[in-house]
C-alpha cells in the first residue's frame, strides 16, 4: 500500500504575492499568476450594548473588550486538487492552503481523510471556479451562515463569481434555500466527486472560522437574505429557541424554563422543525430571542436592529461568536454563563442514550429568569 501523503500547510498571505483586486481578477480570468488581495472594509460602526453575567468566573473573554473584527482576503491559486466535502485545496507537492482547509485542519490536524483521498485519481477536472464551503459549513448551520456565505459574498462583490462557476459539494435543502435567497444572481454548481482537479480556484480566507471575527460581510449577507422574506408585520415577538430535541448539551431543567418563559409571552420554537426561510421570517418578527449556545443562534443575524439576544452558556462551553455576529447587525447581546456540567445522571435516560451526548447542566432558574426579565 502506498504511504499516505504528507502535507505542507501554508499561510496564503505569506506564501503568495499580494495584488490589488483588479489584478487578481484579471489573473483569474486570463490564466495569470497566483496571489491574494486584501478586502478592506469601512471603519466599524458603533457597537450595540452588551452584558455578561458570569456565575462561575469561567468566561475566558474580557467582557469590556469586544470580539475581534477580521480582515479577510481573497486568493487566487493554480493547479490544485479540491476536496469538496472538506473545503481543502491541495497544490503541488502537498501544499495545502491554510484558510480554505482551516476547519478540516481543526478537526484532523494531519488531514488523514485528505491523505486517503489523495490515493485516488481526480474524477472531475474543471478549468476554474469559486470555492466557498469550509468543512464545518457542510453540516453546521452557524458555520454555513457565518463562514461559507460571507466567503461567497466576497467573491460575488469582487466580480469573481460572475466570471466562473460557483462550486459546492452536494448541498442540503436548507443550504440551497439560503443561497437562493442571498444570491439569486448566481448559479451554484454542485459537484459530487470527492477529489476535483481545478486549474484555477478563487476563495476568501473567511472560510476559516470567520464566525469568531466577523466583519460587515455578515451584515451584507443578512441584508440579502432578509430581502427575500416578507416585510415584518410590526409584531414584536419573544422567541425561545429550544434545544430539547438536541443530544449534545442537555439543559436538564429546560422544560421548566420553557414553561416560565411561556408565561412571559414567549413562543417556544424548535428551529430544526422550520425550513430556512421560515426561520429567517421568524427572526424578523422577534424583539427578544433567548436560547442556549448552539448553531440556531446564528439566526440572530436576521433580527432587526435594536433586537436583543440572551444566550445561555454552560461554563464548559463558552464562546463569543454570537456576540460577534450581533455586533455586526446592531443587535444587543446578553450572555448568561452558568455552572456546568452537572451529574450526567440528571439528564433523562433517553437523552443520555442518544448519539452525541456530551454533558448535562442545570442553570439556576430564578437567577436566569431575573436576567431574562431585565432584557424584556
Q: For residues 139-167, give the mean pLDDT.
A: 97
Beta strands in 108-195 (DSSP E): 124-131, 166-168, 188-190
Please calculate the CA angle 266-269-272 and round it to the nearest 5 degrees.
165
**Burial bucket for residue 254 (CB in 10 Å: 0-12, 13-18, 19+):** buried
CATH 3.40.50 in the chain, residues?
237-373
Q: In this predicted model, what pLDDT tens digit does every residue of 97-152 receive, in sequence order?
A: 999 999 999 999 999 999 999 888 878 899 999 999 999 999 999 999 999 999 99
Q: In this predicted model, what pLDDT tens digit does every residue of 242-280 receive, in sequence order?
A: 998 887 899 999 999 999 999 999 999 999 999 999 999
Strand pairing of 237-241 and 286-292?
parallel
Per-residue pLDDT at 5 exceeds 70: no
Query: What pLDDT score does 1 carry?
Result: 39
Question: Hey, what CATH topology would domain 237-373 get?
Answer: Rossmann fold (3.40.50)
Residue among 169, 173, 147 nearest 298 (CA): 147
Residue position matching grid coordinates 419573544: 238
Query: What pLDDT score does 3 carry?
Result: 47
Q: Could you give the CA distance from residue 12 to residue 227 in angstroms, rounded to a whole number?
A: 34
CA atoms within 13 Å, Cβ hemisphere of 14: 6
Give the global pTM.
Answer: 0.95
Beta strands in 84-223 (DSSP E): 88-90, 95-97, 124-131, 166-168, 188-190, 196-204
C-alpha cell of residue 187: 448559479
Structure letter (DSSP) for residue 73: E
Amino acid at each position: 500500500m502506498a504511504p499516505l501523503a504528507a502535507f505542507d500547510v501554508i499561510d496564503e498571505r505569506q506564501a503568495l504575492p499580494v495584488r490589488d483586486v483588479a489584478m487578481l481578477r484579471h489573473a483569474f480570468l486570463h490564466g495569470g499568476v497566483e496571489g491574494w488581495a486584501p478586502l478592506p472594509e469601512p471603519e466599524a460602526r458603533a457597537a450595540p450594548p452588551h452584558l455578561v453575567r458570569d456565575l462561575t468566573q469561567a468566561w475566558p473573554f474580557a467582557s469590556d473588550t469586544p470580539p475581534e473584527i477580521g480582515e479577510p482576503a481573497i486568493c487566487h491559486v493554480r493547479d490544485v486538487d479540491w476536496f469538496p466535502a472538506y473545503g481543502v485545496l491541495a497544490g503541488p507537492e502537498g501544499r495545502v492552503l491554510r484558510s480554505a482547509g482551516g476547519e478540516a485542519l481543526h478537526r484532523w490536524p494531519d488531514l488523514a481523510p485528505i491523505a486517503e483521498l489523495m490515493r485516488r485519481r481526480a474524477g472531475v477536472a474543471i478549468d476554474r471556479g469559486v470555492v466557498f464551503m469550509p468543512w464545518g459549513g457542510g453540516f453546521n448551520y452557524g458555520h454555513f451562515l457565518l463562514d461559507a456565505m460571507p466567503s461567497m459574498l466576497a467573491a460575488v462583490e469582487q466580480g469573481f463569481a460572475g466570471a466562473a462557476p460557483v462550486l459546492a459539494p452536494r448541498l442540503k435543502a436548507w443550504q440551497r434555500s439560503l443561497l437562493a435567497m442571498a444570491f439569486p444572481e448566481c448559479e451554484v454548481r454542485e459537484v459530487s466527486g470527492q477529489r476535483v482537479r481545478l486549474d484555477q480556484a478563487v476563495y476568501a480566507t473567511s472560510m476559516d472560522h470567520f464566525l469568531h471575527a466577523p466583519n460587515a460581510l455578515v451584515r451584507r449577507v443578512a441584508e440579502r437574505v432578509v430581502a427575500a422574506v416578507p416585510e415584518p408585520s410590526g409584531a414584536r415577538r419573544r422567541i425561545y429557541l429550544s434545544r430539547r430535541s438536541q443530544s449534545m448539551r442537555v439543559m436538564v431543567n429546560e422544560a421548566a424554563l420553557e414553561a416560565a418563559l411561556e408565561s412571559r409571552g414567549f413562543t417556544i420554537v424548535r428551529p430544526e422543525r422550520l425550513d430556512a426561510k421560515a426561520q429567517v421570517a421568524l427572526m424578523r418578527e422577534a424583539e427578544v430571542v433567548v436560547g442556549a449556545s448552539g448553531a440556531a443562534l446564528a439566526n440572530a443575524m436576521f433580527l432587526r436592529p435594536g433586537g436583543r439576544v440572551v444566550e445561555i452558556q454552560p461554563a464548559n462551553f463558552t464562546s463569543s461568536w454570537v456576540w460577534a455576529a450581533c455586533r455586526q447587525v446592531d443587535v444587543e447581546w446578553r450572555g448568561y454563563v452558568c455552572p456546568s456540567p452537572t451529574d450526567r445522571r440528571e439528564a433523562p435516560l433517553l437523552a443520555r442514550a442518544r448519539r452525541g451526548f456530551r454533558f448535562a447542566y442545570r442553570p439556576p432558574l430564578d437567577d436566569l429568569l431575573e436576567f431574562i426579565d431585565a432584557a424584556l
